[in-house]
Structure formats: structure tokens, C-alpha cells
Structure 1
Amino acid sequence: MRRTPPMLRHIRSPLMLSGALALALALPMAPAIAAGPMEAAQAAEARGDIRAAQAEWRNVVRTTPDSAEAHAALARTSLEIGDIDLAEREARAALQQGFNPLAGNALLYRSFLASARYEALLRDFPEIEAPADQAAQRAAVRAQAQLALGQKDAAAASAALAERLAPGSTDALLAASGVALVGGDRAGAEALLDRVLAREPNNAEALLRKGGLQFERRDLTAATASFGKVIAQSPGNVAALLRRGEALLQQNQQAAARADIDAALKVLPGSTPGIYLNALLLARTENWQAADAELQKLGPQLGNFPDGYLVQATVKRGLGQMAQAEDAARRHVARQPTDPRGAKLLAAIALSANRPDDAAATLETLKARGTADAEALDLLARVQTSQGRPRDAAETLKAAAALAPDNAGIQTRLAAARMAAGDPDGVVEAANRAIQLGATGPENRQLLAFAALSRGDIATAKAEIAKLPPEQRGNEAGLMLDATLQMMQRDLPAARAAFEAALKAAPASNPARVGLARVAAMENKPAEAEALLSAVLKQQPNHAEAMAQLAAAAMPGAPRAAEARKALEEVQAANPAEPALALTLANVLLRADEAPKAVELLSSAPLRAKMNPALSIARAEAQAAAGQWTEAEAASRQALAEAPDSIVARRQLASILVHNGDAKGAELLLQQGLRMQPADAALQQSLLTVVLQSQGFEPASALADRLSKQASAQPASRSLPGDLLMSAKRPEDAARRYVTAYRETPSGDLAIRQAIAWRTAGKPAEGGAVLNDWLGRTPNDTAALIVMSDLDIQANRLADAERRLRAAIALAPQDVAVVNNLAWVAGERGLPDARALAERAYVLSPNPETADTLGWIMARTGDAAAAVPLLKQAAAQRGTPDPAAAYRLSYALNATGAKQEALAALEPALAGNAAFPQRADAVKLLATLRGGR
């Protein structure tokens, strides 16, 4: 255990009664007592052997039964070892023999408080007015009993009475201090204690309370000193020994803590705080067996300690008794749900049992409560990373870094998470911060290089790689960097060699396998790529890219759809409870028009056992596709029950209700959602669609107008009237409604919708005007720049499109669509960076669109042989025939001399009348190919 929490705040010293008690402790023994036994008793007390002292005082009392001092001393030592009944009898005997009333009553009161007889004390010792010193003492002790019973107002009145009877007396000050402390005024309570100690520096009760406050604010050195002053006067004082032992334990002074705890247990072997602290000390040294034995002595009393169950959980975990450890950890979390230590331990136990979902849930609950520390957030991020949730991990580590800004390790992990989440700018920020904090390892340099590669900045990547020592260039990460760099530069043999070397250096490396799969796809080796992706998923069933690539290859129409689907099915069968795999395979089945199989898959027992709204939503979609509308409705209702805030589930259920003839129910469902989330655009659109379908255009139009004026529904609702007109295929009317809304409240969304409406109406100039107006106000609106670039491309204003896309890419360097569009424009304009941009887009996301762009640029710049595999990949993975893609493939094949293959690719594409921009060029190529037959 790295840190011991303040376990004993609830322990109250048996001496915490009144100033008169210090007098009882300090009174000299009367010389009339027989010298031998009395000296032996005093010597035993001086060395802290209270049990021996009590025995000697018994002898003194037997030999001199009329000695008030001996009876008082026996009462005092009996209290120290917990012999409360004897202490009370001896205190009464001392008073009967004429012992000092203040000191004698202090001992008597103490016996009542030590046995928790608070109500009896209040009953047997009512308020008195005289003598004043005794009356003040009694008022003070009554205040203490009332506080113990939770009677704060009565305690305050008793403390005030003590002050009135003996203004500024120790008893009055201590009573007032207790009232202030219970009232939460720690500063006021300590100020009163300081007044006591200013005139009585060795007052035991004041020192114990002062030490307790110092301990609470983590001033452990001062607390140790305060408790030490009490021990100097009374070496056998159990409360002071235990409090100092705990303070020493907090300071990792285990030997000194052991001495104090052993001394306390020698005086009071049955002390539950002493046994507890002893168990804690044993746990510190990982003596789990002995610690467990001590905790078992406490029995049900273990729950009286704030961290009792936490210590028990730690000990049971150390013993390997994981079920008991988890039970104890859950008890602690239930009692202290905001304590990060309990959540961290419970999460660690779940992880050791291979239950990352449970660990994540525990830590996310703590995070939601706002009490997670940096260590808990760091652990949560590690779990999220293992679950394939890089964006969540990055956000969690960002929060951890805010709590621990000087932790270089957290900054390094934040950089890695941002890399996985596709945030290169964030990588640079976190990695440079880690380096500033002294992280001298190669990880951050490697991350900076990867970030540069992801932005297509090869020069910066090479510069960062050059800063790595030679041995770091030859490890897995260094080889992966080299391989990625070679792949971006289209040196596929070198990239393959580097990925294979990385896999040899780290046989479990999934990044190396994914990289090799990319190279294999570029080399038109789909079988190899599928095998590599399958191997990745066998090790990491939720690997997002591997799933996406294998699913794309399994889609109907792909050349190896059957083989890829079989591989996907095998991996899913081996991991039947993995939601992401099931969802991926179900989507493939639905695309293949095999809805019943998708239903069967998503209805399997392992998936049914999971509370996962995404699974219920997918099951409903599959059931609807299979015509099982009743079952689909039930699945949608289950999804909404699992996630009441899920807009997707609510919209899906509404759609199914409409199909099942319950349009009113769908409308009410969506209205309920809008009451909870009135500004949600998707819910607004869905409600508008339901009303349009069930009631017609006019009621829908009235609803759109009403929502557009509703403040809580804005800004999304401002576009609804125009959206309705667009759905009615009235684009010019829609554009005019957008114009009105834009004039009232200009926004990028309204500008874009207006531009699209004008373009649909055949008036693109008007759309360009409004976008130019908006970009004049907000030149960094990425979405508006992209739409405007589309208008420019359609109007063949490629220079303008290039300018806008370069501005957009500066704002969104990881937006694959933007990078790919810019690559295409640059290629059409013959710009020198066209290929580099296309390679960057393909590395960011190797999909049909990026493969098509890169292949086409390569084919037209003299590298047709390398372009063919990319263009085949693009044509095969689109799912539906694309004559333009077929033309580009045929062009590349013809350039390599494969004229018959080029003809076979192009003839079917031109068999129909499909229009596409390059159709005239395609017809010319077809004629050329036919002429060469």
C-alpha cells in the first residue's frame, strides 16, 4: 500500500474531558502512602507499563484503604487499560476519602464517557451553579456528552454556561472548542485550543485535540510532536500512542510506528484501534497472513473504521482471495463512493479477473462524481485504450494531465492516445510537454514523427526520426516509423521489409500486421491482407481498422467477398460476446440481404446478456429488415430502456411505430424526447417527418414554423421550414426560407443549406454568394469552405477550389475527405504535391475513394503499374458498379499493356447510359481498345 489514509480520526482520547483532568494526572502522591508500593507504581507508570502500575496501585489501596490519592491513581490507571467499572468505583472512593473534587470528578466523568454512558451522565450529573469551578467543569463535560449524542444546540448552551460560570477557564475553552469543531469551525476550535496551551503547554486533552487537527490537515510533523508531548507526560497513554503511531505510519516511519503501536497494545491488548493499526502496519510490509489474522480479531467492528473494508480488500487481494477482496472493496465503495482509492482497487480486481468493462464502469462512475484523482483517470484511460476507445482515453488523460500537470508519464500516454484518436496537433502538444518535463525516452520523439507522417509532413517526420538513437530505430516503434514513411513514399518493397522486421522484433505487434495488410492491399494481394487482418482480430477482437477492412472486403460484389466473410465469421464465432465484431458482421449480412442470419447472430445468448443499446438497436434494424416488426419494436424499446437519452434509439422506435400503424405513438415519443433535448436537430427532423407522413404538408409546415420560433429549440430549428420544402422538392422556395432565417440569425449551417438549395434549384451563383458572405465573416468555417469548394469544382473553378481546400486542410489536417479532395484538385491541375496529398489521404484511411484518387494520379503520372492494384481495390470495394472507376482502371491497365484486361473492365461499364464527367474519354478509350483486338 503506497499511502495510508487517516484511519483513526474517530478515536478520542480517554483523556478528552476537562482541564481538571490534567490536575488529576499531575497531582503528587501524598507522603502518607507506603513508600515501596507507591514508588513501584509510579515507576511503572513512568515507563508506560500501566498494567503493572495498576497492580501496584491495587496493593497500595489494600494497604492504605483510606488514601484518597491511591484510590484516584488506581482509577486513573484502570481507565487507561479499559477497566471502566473499577475506575468508576475507585473514583467514587477517592471522592469519599476527600480527594480534590475537580480532579476526582474528572475521573468519574471520564468513566462514564469511556463506556459511552452519555445519557446516564446527563441524568446523574445535572447542571449546578456552585461552586463555580465545579459547576463549569460539569457544564463542560455535559457539553461533551451532548455532542456525542448529536445534541448540538444543547452542547452549545452547556459550553456557554461553562464560560459564564468560569470565564476563560480551561474547562470553558475546551467545551467551546468541541462545539466549534462539531460545527465545522476548525480554525475557531484550534484558536481556542491554542489559548489553553498558551497557559497550560502540557494540557493533555488540548494537545490531543490539537494533534488531531494537525493530522487532519496533513501537518504530520506537528501532529507527531503534539502527541509526543502527551506521551512524554504519560508514556502509557493509549490514545496518544496510537495517534502518534498512525502519524508516523503516514510518514513511512514504520519502525517508530511499530514501537508506539506495540506499546499501546501492551497496555490495552484488546484495543480495536490498536489491532486495526497493527493490521495496517503488517499490510504495509505485505505480511498478508498476519494482517488478515489481526483483521479477523476485529469481526464486525472492522466496519467502524472509515477505511476498514479498504484495508481488508487490500489484504485479501494480497492473499489471492479475490472474491473476498472484491466483496470488501465493494463495501468500501458503497460507503465512500467518492473515494478514488476504493474505486481504483475495485477496478484493479476486475482487471485481474479479465473484466475490463466492469473496471471501466467503476472508474467512469467515479469520474462522473468529479472525485477521480490523476491515478484513477490514468487507469481508466488504460482500460479505455484496451477497449479500443482512443478518443475516450484521450479525453480522460487530458483530465488526468490537468490534475497532474507535471507528470511526464501521463503526458506521454496522452500523446499516444491522441495519436490513436487521430489528433496529430494534440500529439505534438502533449509529446513536447512530456519532453519539457524530462521524459527522455524515445516514445515522444517517435510519436512526434508519427504525428508528422499523419499530416503528410515527411520532412518533419524525418527530422524527428534522426533524433532517435540507432538502437531505437531498430525496435518495433522505430521500424514502424520507417515502414510508414516508406509506404507514404510508395516504396512498397521497403515498407514491407520494415513491417516484417517490426513483426519479427515484436511477434504480437498488431500495428505491424495492419501495416503489412495495407501493403498487401496496395500490391493487390487480398488473400494475404485478409489473413493478416484475421490474425489481428484473433488477438484484438475489437480492433477498429482490422474490422473495417475485413468487412469492406466481405461486402457483396467484392472479388473475395466469400473468403473475407468466412474469415470474419470465424473470428466472431471465437469471440461470441464481443459487441463490435457482432455489429460488424451483422452489417455485412444485412448488406447481403441475409437479415434472418443477422437477427440470429444478434440474438445469441452471449450478446443478449450484455446491456448494450447498440446491440439492441442493431437487432431491431435486422428484425425490421427481416419483416419481424413486432420483435423490432420490442428490441427498440429495450434499447431506449437501456439508454433513455439515446436519440438513435428513440428515432428508430418512432420509425418502427409508424410502420406498425402507430403514428400518434411515434409523435408522442419524439415529443417526449424533445422535452428532454429540445434543441436536438435529429429529433426535430424525425418529428417533422412523422407529422408529414401521417398528417400531410400543412400540419408539418405549421409544426416547422412553430419550432423555428421556439427559443429552446434553436438554433437547429431555424432551418426546419426550409428543410420541409426541400423534402417536398421545392428547392427554390426552400432557399428563400433559408434566406429569411439567415438574415435574422446568420449561421454557417443556414449558409450551407441555402447554398445547397440554390444549387439544387439550378442557381449555384446565388449559393456561392451566400457562402462568400458567410466566409467573409467567418473565414475559418471548415464546413463552409468544403461546400464552397464543391461549388467551385462543379463550376470548374479549380484554382478557387484548391485555395479553399488548402485553408480547410490547415484547420482540419486529419479530415480524410478534405485531404482527398485537395489531392484530386491538385491532380487535375497538375500540381507537384498531388501525389503526396493522395498518399497522405490513403495512409490516413485506405478506402475506395482514397485508393481511387491515388491510383488515378499515379496512372496519369507514369506509374500505371503501381496504380493498377489501387484502382482494382477501389473498383472492387465500392459495392456497386461505378463506370467512372471502371474507366480509370481500364486507363491504367491499358498503360501497362494489359489491353484485353482493360477492355474487359471497360465494356460492361459503358454498356448502359450512365453519365459521368469522363464518359467521352472512356468512349474514345473503348474504341481504341476494340480497334486493337
Structure 2
Amino acid sequence: MKNLSLVVILALLSLPGIGAASVADELEAGKKAFAQGEVRTAVIHFKNVLKEEPDNVEGRLSLGQVYVEVGDGASAEKEITRARQLGLARDRWLVPLGKAYLLQRNFQKVLDEITVESGDASTVQVNILTLHADAHMGLGDRDKARQEYEQALKSNPQAVDAILGQVSLAVIAGDLAGAESNIAQAKKLGPANYRVWLMSAEIARMQKKFPAAEADYTQATKLAPWDTSAFLGLTAVALAQGNTDKAKQHLNAAAQIAPKHPMIHYMRAVIAYQAKEFPAAEESLQQVLKVAPRHMPSQLMMGTIQYDKGSYESAEGYLSRYVAEYPDQVPAAKVLAATYMKLNNPKKAIAILEKAAAKSSDDAQLLALLGSAYMRSGDVSKGNETLEKAVNIAPDAANIRTQLALGLLAEGETSQAVTELESAVELGQDVIQADMLLIMTHMKQRDFDKALQAAAALAKKQPDSPVAYSFMGGAYLGKGDKKAAREQFEQALKIQPKFSGARMNLAAMDLDAGNIDAAKQRYHDILKEDDKNLDAMLALVMVAEKQENIEDARKWLLQAWEKNPQSIRAAGSLVNFYMSQQEGMKALDIANGIAAVHPQHPEALRLLGQAQLAADKKSSAVATFAKITGLLPNQPQAHHLLGMAQLENGDNTAARKSLKRALELQKDFAPALASLAGLELKANNHAEARRLATQLQQLAPKAVTGYLVEAASFQEGKDYTAAIKVYERGMAQLDDSRLILGMHQAHVQAGNKQKAEQVLVDWLGRYPKDNAARSILAGYYMQQKNNDQALAQYQKVLEVQPDNYIAHNNLAWLYHLKGDAKALKHAEQAYTLQPKLPSVMDTYGWELLHYGDKNRGLVMLQQAAVQAPHMPEIRYHMAVALEKNGRHDEALLEMKRLLQEHQDFSEIEDAKKFYEQINK
């Protein structure tokens, strides 16, 4: 009976009544046929029973159970409900009815109606717990589902359906090893349960263990030959292995069971698409979309086919529906954006691609497409910048193609099975601009001759485009041929007079030649035609900064931000400016604004986190950087940023965890290694700090941090000899003043005064303009009371750096000790440079007291004391000023309090003598 045609089946159903004696035989025959997998034969037998006896409870229940097995939930509910109304015992209809509800996705109905009663047998209770767990899964409450499965298995450790539920949870969580363990247990307990083998096959297929998947799907077909899911699974496995003929065989077997099943048509479309038989694929997809218009994989494939055919308007319709449903599917977004490019609508392409790039910032093909869209829209600067990023990621990307993951979901009313296919979609030269990528690759590799050849080839393809000539100008600049470069840029402007890329390059050449006015004029001309041109405004910022015109720089940065309020680059430039000017709250305001516009963009969030740190909002910064790790969980840079913020926030434990995570993702990620080594050093874990520092030295022998951390760990352990050896080893690799300064300090700590001086003297003999080292040497001479040498060194500091306020301040003290009125001049200069610094105010006030206006000196010292009441030296100087200004009682009272509160400071002996003098 299994292979009867529909005509024969209908003929059988029209036979006269079978008689009471035959009802029992028909019922038994139906159950036997179903047990042997002959579903259609079983249905005929059960319907014969019900035609003769419509109120036959056993017939209704049996037919309902068949419908449950084949996935027809609505028909199953109808038959089981009728059996229930006819008086079927509760323990027989309860679980099948629950399964019928699940098939129809009536999850809440399962929870409301399929409930445990006090008289229910333990097996019924376990089954209800499992049904409830399945319903919670359907409602998305995995935690509740997990609890119900565990409770079911606690009551009956052999409940296979509950074990399968746990398998599903493990798969969703990505724990395929746990899923495999559970499915192995299910196989032992339920070897005749076809769903066990079906799920086992799915797990194997996900892991690309295709032979194992094929074996398990085959076993499922033997146990449930009526179910299409296993045959569709076999089809998917065959396609994944490139065996189209075998895939067709399995699909034909599925079609014999359910010829109108939409997934049959869909898989036919997949096979046809892979063979580039687009008309056949399109016809099959139309069959799917007739009965399942929201089957998104079909929408995607249909859109892709329309794209390949050149029917771009039609492609847009299908693809936009898919992207609206699955906005995070980057491959689909690429094809939709490419479609917009074909329709000459680069702005829509940019809108799609910018969202995708925020989540897939390391996708070279995506960035290449976005760069091309920027170019087509006329934003040459962004185009170049984005294409450069693509080249950095994939230097060989000149012929980029895309692999579009279609994510085929094989789902029907009877089962769910997932298969994955990859289909290459050539997006076309006019979309990707492979020539541009090739040129930029050569430019990045500084192979300017090849860049010129590639640009010349592009100019032949697109003679009316200024882009190729602009690239040639850039290549000539790289070769140092400025005359030829200027000619190419000017040729680009002949083709398109308003082409900003060439104008910006010519302005840069003017700047390089020292012709600032000409450069500024070009930038202003660009802004007359495009008052939102960010490159021109930021270039004017650079010019203003070169001319040390901070307010002009501020003006252009504000204008850039006001004209481009959604630009992360404009916001970042303004944020960095404000932070450089110590205007932290203003920086935070801008950063908050751009993060509100781009709440999921890592770069916008990075700016916000840095601004929060600058504004001392450390906890908020940690939360912001944590959000970046959520967006980019596999990027070591993101975890490093979070770790540094956690360090700033004083949470070493969390910082250590984040930095280690960064190193798990990339074991040779030097910044995280350096930060972790520094953390361990601060935590006094010297051995671990040294281990990490040594690892860093091996990874980056020319980087200074590894040597500094290792040496510092020895210094903190008072092993100065070992520290000096590390500094010497570092100096053998690189010349870095930080190593010399560390070595100087180690010699000081070891008591090697002559050597401490000599290493700095020798270094300055080689690098006489190293003011950091010279300032340390001058300070060392002051500590050693070698004031003449200190004075000479500070004067040399000022020869290189006239505005060094520390040198002026210390020269004031040195001249004061010599009784030289030059002290006042240097103190005044230091105060002019740093008028709000208490130590500088103290020096200036002290020198005014001795060489200038005594009253003004007192006022200055009082202001310094108010700002720094914890500095006893300032209070001592203020007391002297009070005395010199005839305010004896106030001076006496201040000194009395000072000596009571502070028994040890640098000028304690002088302070005591002064107190004795005025307390007579």
C-alpha cells in the first residue's frame, strides 16, 4: 500500500462500509502500517475506521498520533480533542495534545492547559514537565526551560525527550561538546527514537562531520521513512560535499513523501543555483514564496538571482526585505548595497554599508565596497581612507569577491533542519573598484611605478574620471617628482574642476612649499562650494596649529563639528583638542553627543570612553569600554582598552582578567602584554612581571617597555646590580633615554654617585638636545649641592626649550642661593608660564620678597599657601613675608602652628632658626 498513487487511495476511501467485524482489523492494520513507517497506508486504515464508526475513540486517537508524528499539528489537535470529548482517559490524550499544540507554536496554551494533577502517574508528570520545558524554549525563556528539563530528568533519568531538550539548549549555547555527550546518552536510551538520530545528524553537520551526519540521517530515514527532515538533511550534506547527483536522489525521496513541501522546492532552487541554472532556481523559489512569502532564505536567494540577471530593481525588493528582517547579516547587506550601486544610488549603499562596517570593521571586501560607494558619491577623502583600510586588512584584495552565506533554513510544519551553503557572487568591477584597491596596494607597499601603471590602466578604462589622474599624482609624489604630480592633479581638475581630492593634494603641496596663503585659499575655495567639506576644515585646523593660532584651530574644529554632527572623525578631532586644552567636560559633551548618534559604533564609544577618563568619570569609562568588548568580543584591542580603563578605576582584578583575555585572543599582542607586565609590577608580583617582561622582549626586542618593567622589578626588590644589567641589555638593542634615566636612578640607589653622573653626561654627549635627560642631570647636581653645575645645565635646557618653567623655577632658586638678583627674573618667567602652580607661586613670591616688592611677595605667598596648605615650605616662606612686612604677631602664630604640625621638611632647620629669632 505504501506506493499507491493518490487515485488508488481515493478509490479505496470510496469503498462501501467495512462492517463491524472489520473495524478492529482495520484499526490493527493501521497501527501495524504505522509501526512499519507506512504513514499514508496507516492514515487510510484509520480513516476507514472513522468512516464506519465516527465516534471510535481508538481510531481518533491513533489518527491524531499519526498526525503528531508527521508534524500536522492542526489535524492532530482536531482528532485528539474529539477523542477526549468521546471519553478517552486523561493520561492517554494529555501528552499527544500537548505535542499538537507545540507543533502549532501554541506555547502558552501548553503551559495553561497541559498541567499536572495530583492523580497523574509519574511518567505522565515527567512528560508534562518536558512539554512545559519545550514551551518555555519556544517562548525564549531558556533558563526556565533548563530548570524544567532538569526536573524531568531528576524524576526519570531515562526521559529521552528531556535529554533532547538539553541537547537543544547546548546547541543554542554553542556547546557542541556538551550536546554530543547528551546525544550519545539519548542514543543508548532511545535507539528507536528517530528524533535522536535526526538531532545527532544535525550536530555532526554543524561540525562539518559529514560522514557521521550522513550515517545518522540515514538511520533516521529507516526509523521514520515518512519524515522529510532526514531526507532534506541528507540533501544538505550531499551539497556540502559537492555531490549534486546524490543531493538530487535524496531530494527526490523527500518529494515522494511530500511533493508540495516548500523546503523541497527550496532545496531544488539551491541545487539549480549552484549549477547556475537561474531560471530553474527562480521557478522553484516562486513555488516556495507562494505558500511561505516570509521564508527569508528564499527572499535572499531570489534577490541574488535577480542581481546576477541584472534585474536590479527586482533584486532591491527581495534583498531589502531580507535585510530588514536580518539587519545583522553582513553578506546580504553587501549584495543589497551592490544593488544600490548598480542603480546609481551610492547614498543608499553607504547607509547600508556604514551600519554593517560598525559591526564588521575587519571585513576587507565590505570596506572596499564602502570605499567605492564613497568615491561614487564624490567623497574622495572618505573613499581613499576606507579603501586604505581594506588594503591594510587584505593586501592581495585587488580581485576581491564575496562569499555570500545564504544560511539555508530547512523548516516546515513537520520538523526543523538547518543546512548551510556558500555561493560566490561577483559584484563587478564598477562596484568594487578593484583597480583602486590594486593602486592603493602598490602605494602602500611604496611600489610607485606599479601604482602608476595600474592608475594609467584605470585612466584608459575611465578616461572621463578624475580619480585615476589623482592617483597618478599621488604616485608621482611618492617618487618625489613634484612637477609631474602637480601636472596630474591639474589634469584631474580639467576633467572635473570641483574634484576635491586633487584640490586637497595641490593645497598640501603648497603647504609643503611654504606657500601657506595659497594653500589656505584652496581650502577656502573648496568650502565656498561645499561648506561641509570636513577635509578642508581639518586642514585649516592643521594650518592654525602650525601657526600656533589656537583660537583659529578651535573655530574650525567647532565649524567642522557643527557642519558634520554625525561624523565620528569631526567629533574625534574636537574631543582630542578639548582634552589637549584640559577642557575635559567640553570633550565629554561632544563625545556623549557622537555616541548618542552612533551608539553601536566602536570608534564613537572609544572616544566616549577616553573623554570619560579625561573627565575623571572612571566607572562610566569602564562601562563604555565593556560595551565595545560586547560589540567586538574577538578583538584584542577592545579588551585591552577595557583593561586599561579598569586599571585607571583601581580594579586590578578585573583589569588583569581583561588583559589576559586580550592575550588569549592574540598571544603576541604587545600592548596588552606590556600593560599586564606593568600591572603585575605595581602589584609587587615581581616574578610574574619579569616573566611577562621577558616575553615582551622576545616578541619586540626593539620596544623599551619590556626592559623598563624587568629592571624596575629588580629595583623594587633592591637588586640594583641586576637592574643595571637589564638597562645595559636594553641599550644594546635601542637608544632610548628612558633606559638611560632608569640606569641613572639605579646607580643612585646603589650609591654609585660617579657612575650615576657619568651615564647622563655620556648620553648628553651623544644627544645634546635631550632636555629630559639634561633636566634630570641638573636636578641631580642640585641634590648633590653642586649648584654651579646645576645652574649651567638648566641654562642649556633653556637654550633648547626657552619656555621650560621648571628650568626657570629652579634657576631662580639657584641664583637666590648665590644672592644674585637674576633669581627674580627667572621666577617671574616661570610664573608667567604657570601662574596657577603653587610651587611656582612660592618661588616667585619668595624672590619678590627678597629682590622686589615685599608686599606683593606676601600676597603671592598667601595665595600659594591657600592652594597648597599641605606644603610646609610655602607656609614657612609666608611667615617670613609676614615678618618682613611688619606683621610680627601673625608671623609668630603661623610659625608656632607650622612647627607643631610638621617636624620634618626640607627647610626645617632654617624654619626653627627663624622661629627662635622672632620669638625672643
TM range (shorter): 0.3 to 0.5
TM-score by length of 1: 0.46
TM-score by length of 2: 0.47
